[in-house]
Homo-oligomer: A and B are copies of this chain.
Amino acid sequence: MHTRDSVMASSNPVFGDDKPVDRKASLAGSINPSRAYERYVLRRVIDAMGSPSFTVILWDGFSVAPVHKRPIATVHIHSHAALMLLLRYGDMGFGDAFSDGSITVEGDLVGFLVEAFQNSQPPGLAGLVKRLQQPKPRANTHDGSRENIHHHYDIGNNFYQLWLDAEMQYTCAYFPEQEMSLEAAQQAKMDHICRKLQLRPGDRVAEAGCGWGGLARHMALNYGAKVSSWNVSSEQVSFAVERARAEGYDDRVTYVLDDYRNISGEYDVFVSVGMLEHVGRDHYPALGEVVDRCLTADGRALLHTIGRNRSRLMNPWIEKRIFPGAYPPTLGEMMDILEPHRFAVLDVENLRLHYARTLQQWLVRYDASYDEVVDQFDDEFGRAWRLYLAGSQAAFLAGALQLFQVLFTRERNNTLPWSRQHLYPG
């Protein structure tokens, strides 16, 4: 890596002739040239990032470009207002300006975001101050959860069908071979989970947060399990119920439009894939009590969740605009669910790079359906979701997010497989 020796105060030789492509931004850009203090602050921000490999161009052509290396992307800031949003509100301002088109990124969006993630964690006191300033995620009380989930998951099944796989798996896939298709990798993810849970015919399964019902269907049809799945997203549950009836497995799977805290009954297996992100730290003890209440003596349980290596709030833009109430825990924080009940962790697997790959494939499909997205919603929505998918891929690539699968049982369960060999057949 070269170091940034100086900041070029001229237009970039490669991208300098680029014209803003966005009409709105183009209009905004015509108003005033950038001022000396704006240029100064921009330089300071970019210098603080070390040696980033992207170019930044302001509305008047002023640019800051990498030294001794070819830029992977060019960030166009199309107005004074957009620059102010970015400098004042950081990730939040960037997200909103990207969504309204007053910041655009040309070139490798994900690569640019990886660099931004790797350099956006202020250390020491500055980091602490930033964290204290960030508002807590919206509360996940019973009512709060329903609203938070509604915000994200009830925006239309048609929309998700544009870019998810056929099974509508909206969680990290598992690629036993790196080059397999998304469709195959989502099937492999479901099988990997079923094998970890030693799922057997006749097993009673409680699922907390079932999405569009694909895993419950897979467990019933391919493993002979009897599944009850809870979810507070009415759109998702309607879809799942309708499919179960149409395909005739509604005798083996029950989808319940209710909060996971109301799960009742006794089960051989407890599974939750991609719900813990929406539970919130305050409610981990409640989740632990649910599992403790419903799991048999020899029962197996699995939590699959986005996580962190160190405690940190969700990216504020994602939390506000995309996923209200979301919080990805560290492994240590997850133990607040398990340790009060002395649950024994048998296996933790981190599938971080699998989620990066999943998101990459979602983004390809999303871009291919971009016009339909804009037709269903509008440009701002289309750009916001593009940033969310690309930013999430970048966060997993940069190590800012992890994907933990945690398998556990009761402390005194000695009916365990002797090794994990059974997870790797063939």
Q: Residues on A close to B: CB < 8 A? A: 118, 174-178, 309-311, 330-332, 335-336, 338-340, 342-350, 352-353, 397-400, 402, 404, 410-414, 416, 418-421, 423-424
A310 touching B342 by the CB < 8 A rule? yes
* Known contacts A311-B339, A421-B424, then 13 further A-B pairs from the complex at CB < 8 Å, ordered by chain A residue: A118-B412, A176-B419, A176-B421, A309-B338, A309-B344, A331-B345, A332-B332, A342-B399, A345-B348, A353-B414, A353-B416, A399-B411, A423-B424
Cα A352 to Cα B342 in complex, Å, equals 14
**Contacting pair A414 B402 (CB below 8 A):** no
* Chain B residues with CB below 8 A from A118, complex form: 412
Determine whether the beta carbon of B418 is less than 8 Å from that of A353.
yes
Q: Closest residue to A411 on the B side, CB-wise? A: B399
Which 6 A/B pairs are nearest by Cβ-Cβ distance? A332-B335, A348-B348, A399-B411, A309-B342, A424-B424, A399-B412
Nearest B residue to A398, CB-CB:
B412
Which residues on the B side are within 8 Å of A335 (C-beta)?
Answer: 330-332, 335
A53 to chain B, nearest CB (A): 15
Q: How far is the CA of A398 from the CA of B345 in the complex (A)?
A: 15
Q: Is the CB of A347 within 8 A of B349?
A: yes
**CB-CB < 8 A to A175: which residues of B?**
418-419
22 pairs from A and B in contact (CB 8 Å cutoff)? A174-B419, A175-B419, A176-B419, A176-B421, A309-B345, A331-B331, A331-B332, A332-B335, A332-B336, A332-B339, A344-B350, A344-B402, A345-B402, A347-B349, A397-B414, A399-B411, A399-B412, A400-B411, A420-B420, A420-B424, A423-B424, A424-B424
**Of B310, B331, B340, B350, which is within 8 A of A310 by CB?**
B340
B339 touches A346 (CB 8 A): no
Specify which of A174, A309, A342, A343 lies most central, judged by the most chain B CB atoms within 10 Å of its CB: A309
Q: Which residue of B lies closest to A417 (CB)?
A: B353
How far does the Cβ of A391 sit from chain B's closest Cβ, in whole Å? 17
Q: Is the CB of A350 within 8 A of B347?
A: yes
Measured in the bound complex, the distance between the Cα atoms of B308 and A15 in whole Å is 58
Report chain B residues within 8 Å CB of A353: 414, 416, 418
Q: Could you say which residues of chain B place their CB within 8 Å of the CB of A416? A: 353
Bound complex: CA of A311 vs CA of B402, how far in Å? 25
Question: Separation in Å of the A320 CB from the closest CB of chain B?
Answer: 24
Say which residue of B331, B346, B349, B352 sits within 8 Å of A350 (CB atoms).
B346
What's the minimum C-beta distance from A180 to chain B, rounded to whole angstroms? 11
For A352, the closest partner residue in chain B by CB is B344
* Complex alpha-carbon distance, A310 and B398, angstroms: 32
| Nearest residue, chain B, Cβ from A422 | B424
A344 to nearest B CB, angstroms? 5
Which of A311, A335, A347, A423 has its CB near the most chain B CB atoms (within 10 A)?
A335
